[in-house]
Amino acid sequence: MRIALAATCLGDAMFPQAPIAVVRLLERLGHTVVVPERQACCGQMHVNTGYQREAVPVVRNHVRTFGPVADGEWDAVVVPSGSCTGSIRHQQAMVLDRAGLAAEARTATAVAARTYELSELLVDVLGVTEVGAWFPHRVTYHPTCHSLRMLGVGDRPLRLLRAVEDIELADLPEAAGCCGFGGTFALKNSDTSAAMLADKVRHVTGTGAEFLTAGDYSCLMHLGGGLSRHARRGRSERPAAQEATGPARTTPAVRTVHLAEILASTREQPWSPGSADRTPMSESSGTMRSTPAGNAKGAAR
- Residue 251: closest CA among 240, 237, 261: 237
Distance separating alpha carbons of residues 128 and 106, to the nearest angstrom? 31
pLDDT at 297: 47
Residue 26 banded pLDDT, cuts 50, 70, 90: very high
Distance separating alpha carbons of residues 215 and 287, to the nearest angstrom? 25
- Backbone φ, ψ for residue 40 (5° rounding): -145, -140
- Residue 134: closest CA among 176, 170, 163, 172: 163
pLDDT at 111: 98
Contact 19, 92 (CB under 8 A): no
- pTM for this model (two decimals): 0.85
pLDDT at 236: 56
* Average of per-residue pLDDT across 254-262: 95
Residue 180 banded pLDDT, cuts 50, 70, 90: low
- Spell out a b/e string for 208-235, using b for 16 or more CB atoms within 10 Å of the CB, else e: ebbbbbbbbbbbbebbbebbbebbeeee
- Backbone φ, ψ for residue 77 (5° rounding): -115, 135
Distance separating alpha carbons of residues 153 and 279, to the nearest angstrom? 31
Please name the residue ranges forming H helices in 237-274.
240-243, 259-264
- E-strand spans in 50-89? 76-79
Lowest-confidence pick of 92-101, 191-200, 241-250? 241-250
* Cβ-proximal residues to 227 (8 Å cutoff; 6+ apart), any chain: 201, 204, 205, 212, 253, 254, 255, 256
Please name the residue ranges forming H helices in the chain.
9-13, 17-28, 44-48, 52-66, 82-90, 92-98, 102-113, 118-120, 145, 156-162, 185-188, 190-206, 217-236, 240-243, 259-264, 275-278, 295-299
Contact 134, 164 (CB under 8 A): yes
Distance separating alpha carbons of residues 249 and 232, to the nearest angstrom? 12
- Backbone φ, ψ for residue 234 (5° rounding): -60, -35
Lowest-confidence pick of 67-81, 146-160, 195-209, 232-246? 232-246
* 291: amino acid identity, one letter: T
pLDDT digits (tens, 9 = 90+) for 78-126: 999 999 999 999 999 999 999 999 999 999 999 999 999 999 999 999 9
Query: Which residues does residue 165 pair with via DSSP β-bridges, in sequence order?
Result: 134
